Amino acid sequence: MSEHSHPPDPSAAHAAPPQQSDSELAREQDYLISARAEMARMREHTLGLQAQAGDKIAGEHLAHTLWRRAQSLVDDPGGTLFFGRIDTLSRQHGTERHYIGRRHISDADGEPVVVDWRADVSTPFYRASPREPMGVRLRRRFGVDRGQLTAYEDEHLSDPQAEDLSGQRHSRILAAEIERPRSGPMRDIVATIQPEQDEIVRADVGTTICVQGAPGTGKTAVGLHRAAWLLYSYRDRLSRTGVLVIGPNRAFLEHVGAVLPTLGEIEVGHTTVEELTGRSHGTEPAEVATLKGDARLAQVLHRAVWSQVQPASEPLVVPRGSRRWRVPEYDVQQILDELTSRGVRYDAARQMLPRRLAHAVLVRMEGSGDTPDDRVQDAVARSKPVRDFAKTVWPVLDPPAVLFGLWSDPAALAAAADDLLTGDEQRILLWEKAPRTRGAARWTPADTVLLDEIGDILERTTSLGHLIVDEAQDLSPMQLRAVGRRASTGSLTVLGDLAQGTTPWATRSWTESLEHLGKAGAHVEELTRGFRVPAAVIEYAARLLPHIAAGLALPESVRSNPGRLDLLSADGRLLPATVAAVRSSLEGAPGTVGVIVSDTSLTSVAGALQEAGIRHATVGGPPPGPGTDAGTDAETDAMEVSEARVQLVPATLAKGLEFDQVIVVEPAAIVAAEPDERTGLRRLYVVLTRAVSGLTVVHDDPLPAALREN
Ligand SMILES: Nc1ncnc2c1ncn2[C@@H]1O[C@H](COP(=O)(O)OP(=O)(O)OP(=O)(O)O)[C@@H](O)[C@H]1O
């Protein structure tokens, strides 16, 4: 690699002054200026277009599309329109040069000035290597600061002497991006997507991929960029069928929610797994929730629904004029048997029943010499005797009624659970005291997943085009089924880390999870290079791995900064020591400071920070009670999490988040807050791996033994 500009150190590449003396850099800067002018021209052109359509609604739609297009062409003077360039040589096209940016820009003749990073021609920018140059002679990466190009780095890939320089250790620009202190919500990584990540991002639309990866290996980033790439590459299909991102909680979605809009994709839904299946009000012991998440429940529910179809115990009798037509029980039963074995949903079959019964009546009419036509069949199907008969043998159901029946009636549960659940298991599922009506039932989160399953047995759930499921290791088999049925005709990107599973029902194997998702056999890819956590911190956290997920590969930090790790014993003064650690982090470096505490210590730590005058916001909302930041400090209270440098984080909401510096308060309490030690240590592993620059562990109680081992 030849480097034509010299940022003082890797992490300062963004701040390096423009190299005005370098004529090549100046030429590239001129190109950027002309690209900006072309983009302004494109915007002017779009603004000048009139929305002319056949009718009012089409006109409004077109006007909205034009407005959105004009919005997407607003230039951000603080950013750059391209971050890379490739010069390629092919027999077909000769020498070509492409500038790679976040969006496509063309000149007045329609010739590309900047190509979208998602276009096929951009692929070699991410994947080419000296071993496989993909026709690339030159790959150039640009250093950028406040809208200016500050540096560039070249790789001459067709040079047989060239070494493989794709790793960030060799690229200051790449290193600078990775080492950048974190502040605010997650950003896109389009300029620096790595080859192994790019393979996942650009996998074909029909491909379901499962990505196992240690903390900070870029799973979330890859999933979001995959969504953006899919929408670009299959726009028509996916804007019709939809793309949805599913994350563990709202705090996580706020952290990642800006990435897709920055990439120009505003129509991707973001939801939590709980929101996916509806609101819940009740709580229950982990043991019960775990059982409700067991895949056997799918069969129990299936039986509970289909057993509502009653055996034909009476003939169908339909009076018409002076005649009474009679369909005997065994003929009715044949119709019921045929409908139950067709593989259609309960409601679809129920709706077919009246016509089937009417047909049986018509056959009898014909048998006695009548010549009834379709209208007669319709009339018979709609007649009261047929409708009443159909309703009796094939009742209308709704999910709450079915679940209410199971949880309140031991006989009903026993009939459906039969050989599937033990007597003890059935006992813990039953309500101790059943609510009087199903409207009064306080459904728990696990119940809502079961209601969703019943809903799907009754009526097919609409499938989307693509789903990105993050932190998927935490989903129960029944939750996985709920996600999977929303991708039954689409595909999935499943992201997670077995070592970070903190629910009682966390998955043990991706093979199993994929089966529950309805995508058995889908490819599992492992990412092992860590872009967030520096070596000193990841090595410390990895002491927990043998206790939480033996067999998983140690993550390899690719950060050149080894990071800072401080273990502080508080000597009985936990809160003052925490405050001091926060102060020192604030003074020591720029970027966010995440203070991660056990959920039960949230109030006391919030009080201590506030007393010390440290402005902060609490992830998930301020804790209740006096002496906290709720209501007592208007300034703190009003602060958005995304704006706060100091963020107080309950350990249960830390998953998926990252902070420039992290202070973990009292690890023993974080472990003890979980129902068992393994889950506690997994929670600790999650919180210890949130730091980009430095980790401080403040403790009064002894550290968990697993962390003391070396
Ligand atoms: N190719 C890359 N270039 C620059 N930064 C990257 C790259 N890949 C990942 N990162 C950064 O590394 C950090 C971690 O990424 P991300 O949150 O996607 O990891 P993760 O595997 O989902 O982590 P976790 O399992 O801890 O939630 C983010 O700041 C992300 O922007």
Give pLDDT tens digits for 663-687: 999 999 999 999 899 999 999 999 9
Interval 32-50 mean pLDDT: 89
CATH of the domain at 544: 3.40.50.300
Indicate whether 464 and 541 sit together in one domain: no
**Which spans in 296-345 are helix H?**
296-306, 329-340
Mutational test site, ligand 1, from 168, 173, 189, max ligand atoms within 8 Å of CB: 189
Q: Which residue has the tokens 């990435």?
A: 259
3-state secondary structure of 358: helix
Asked, for residue 28, whether it belongs to a domain, the answer is yes
Instruction: Tell me the pLDDT tens digit for each residue of 226-244.
Output: 999 999 999 999 989 999 9
* Per-residue model confidence (pLDDT) at position 13: 37
Mutational test site, ligand 1, from 177, 532, 655, 689, max ligand atoms within 8 Å of CB: 532
CA distance 546 to 707: 11
Indicate whether 512 and 540 sit together in one domain: no
Indicate whether 544 and 642 sit together in one domain: yes
Q: Which atom of ligand 1 is nearest to the CA of 214?
A: 25
Asked, for residue 675, whether it belongs to a domain, the answer is yes
Asked, for residue 287, whether it belongs to a domain, the answer is no
Asked, for residue 629, whether it belongs to a domain, the answer is yes
The CB of 155 under 6 Å from ligand 1? The reply is no
Indicate whether 506 and 580 sit together in one domain: no
Residue 165 CA neighbour count, 13 Å, CB half: 24
Band (pLDDT 50/70/90 cuts) for residue 163 is low
> Cβ of 672: how many Cβ atoms within 10 Å?
14
Instruction: Tell me the pLDDT tens digit for each residue of 198-211.
Output: 999 999 999 999 99
Indicate whether 522 and 549 sit together in one domain: no
The CB of 557 under 6 Å from ligand 1? The reply is no
The CB of 277 under 6 Å from ligand 1? The reply is no
Measured in angstroms, how far is the CA atom of residue 631 from the centroid of ligand 1? 35
Task: Please report how the helices 374-382 and 346-367 are oriented relative to each other, as an axis angle in degrees rounded to 10.
Answer: 120
CA-closest candidate to residue 595, choices 587, 624, 583, 539: 583
Measured in angstroms, how far is the CA atom of residue 117 from the centroid of ligand 1? 19
Measured in angstroms, how far is the CA atom of residue 644 from the centroid of ligand 1? 21
Mutational test site, ligand 1, from 183, 531, 693, max ligand atoms within 8 Å of CB: 531
Q: Which atom of ligand 1 is nearest to the CA of 223?
A: 18
CA distance 226 to 221: 8
Asked, for residue 626, whether it belongs to a domain, the answer is yes
Indicate whether 11 and 124 sit together in one domain: yes
Boundary residue ending a domain (498, 529, 560): 529
Q: What total of structural domains would you count in the chain? A: 4
The CB of 531 under 6 Å from ligand 1? The reply is yes
Of residues 181 and 506, more confidence is placed in 506
Instruction: Reply yes or no on whether the pLDDT at 14 is more than 50.
Output: no
Asked, for residue 597, whether it belongs to a domain, the answer is yes
Query: Which residues fall within 8 angstroms of residue 528, CB to CB, at 6 or more apart?
Result: 213, 214, 217, 553, 555, 556
Of residues 370 and 507, more confidence is placed in 507
Indicate whether 48 and 69 sit together in one domain: yes
What are the DSSP calls for 2-64, one per residue?
A: EE----SSGGGGGGPPP-TT-HHHHHHHHHHHHHHHHHHHHHHHHHH-----SSHHHHHHHHH
Indicate whether 345 and 416 sit together in one domain: no
Interval 219-224 mean pLDDT: 97
CA-closest candidate to residue 155, choices 177, 135, 137, 142: 137
Interval 47-70 mean pLDDT: 77
Q: Which atom of ligand 1 is nearest to the CA of 500?
A: 25
Band (pLDDT 50/70/90 cuts) for residue 266 is confident
Indicate whether 406 and 386 sit together in one domain: no
Q: Whose CA is nearest to atom 13 of ligand 1?
A: 532
Tell me if 183 sits within 8 A of 592, measured CB to CB: yes
217: annotated binding-site residue? yes
Instruction: Reply yes or no on whether the pLDDT at 632 is more than 50.
Output: no
> How remote is the C-alpha of 417 from its chain's centroid?
33
489: annotated binding-site residue? no
Strand-strand pairing, 136-145 and 148-156? antiparallel
Tokens of 643: 């704006």
Measured in angstroms, how far is the CA atom of residue 249 from the centroid of ligand 1? 18
CA-closest candidate to residue 339, choices 331, 348, 330: 348
Tell me if 212 sits within 8 A of 510, measured CB to CB: yes
Q: Which residue has the tokens 């999977």?
A: 484
Instruction: Reply yes or no on whether the pLDDT at 537 is more than 70.
Output: yes
- Burial grade of 174 (CB within 10 A; 0-12, 13-18, 19 or more): buried
Q: Which atom of ligand 1 is nearest to the CA of 527?
A: 21
Indicate whether 590 and 652 sit together in one domain: yes
Asked, for residue 295, whether it belongs to a domain, the answer is no
The CB of 217 under 6 Å from ligand 1? The reply is yes
Indicate whether 271 and 339 sit together in one domain: no
The CB of 658 under 6 Å from ligand 1? The reply is yes
Tokens of 289: 């929730």
Instruction: Reply yes or no on whether the pLDDT at 11 is more than 80.
Output: no
CA distance 614 to 593: 11
- For residue 372, the one-letter residue type is P
Residue 682 CA neighbour count, 13 Å, CB half: 24
The CB of 221 under 6 Å from ligand 1? The reply is yes
Q: Which atom of ligand 1 is nearest to the CA of 182?
A: 29
> Cβ of 644: how many Cβ atoms within 10 Å?
18
Asked, for residue 289, whether it belongs to a domain, the answer is no
The whole-chain average pLDDT of the chain stands at 89
Q: Which atom of ligand 1 is nearest to the CA of 470?
A: 22
The ipTM estimated for the assembled molecules is: 0.99
Q: Whose CA is nearest to atom 23 of ligand 1?
A: 216
511: annotated binding-site residue? no
- Burial grade of 347 (CB within 10 A; 0-12, 13-18, 19 or more): middle
Boundary residue ending a domain (529, 560, 577): 529
* Per-residue model confidence (pLDDT) at position 374: 85
CA distance 272 to 267: 16
CA-closest candidate to residue 232, choices 105, 112, 104, 107: 104
Indicate whether 270 and 408 sit together in one domain: yes
* Per-residue model confidence (pLDDT) at position 423: 96
Q: Which atom of ligand 1 is nearest to the CA of 497?
A: 25
Boundary residue ending a domain (492, 514, 529): 529
The CB of 247 under 6 Å from ligand 1? The reply is no
Range of the domain at 442: 187-279+402-529
Interval 82-99 mean pLDDT: 89
595, β-bridge pairs: 648, 663
Instruction: Reply yes or no on whether the pLDDT at 652 is more than 90.
Output: yes
Interval 331-346 mean pLDDT: 95
Through-space distance between the first and last CA atoms of the chain, rounded to whole angstroms: 39
* Per-residue model confidence (pLDDT) at position 161: 65
The CB of 166 under 6 Å from ligand 1? The reply is no
Measured in angstroms, how far is the CA atom of residue 220 from the centroid of ligand 1? 7
Measured in angstroms, how far is the CA atom of residue 658 from the centroid of ligand 1? 9
215: annotated binding-site residue? yes
* Per-residue model confidence (pLDDT) at position 630: 41
pLDDT-wise least confident of 2-11, 255-264, 367-376, 669-678 = 2-11
Measured in angstroms, how far is the CA atom of residue 650 from the centroid of ligand 1? 21
CA distance 587 to 703: 27
Instruction: Tell me the pLDDT tens digit for each residue of 272-301.
Output: 999 999 888 899 999 999 999 999 999 999
- For residue 165, the one-letter residue type is L
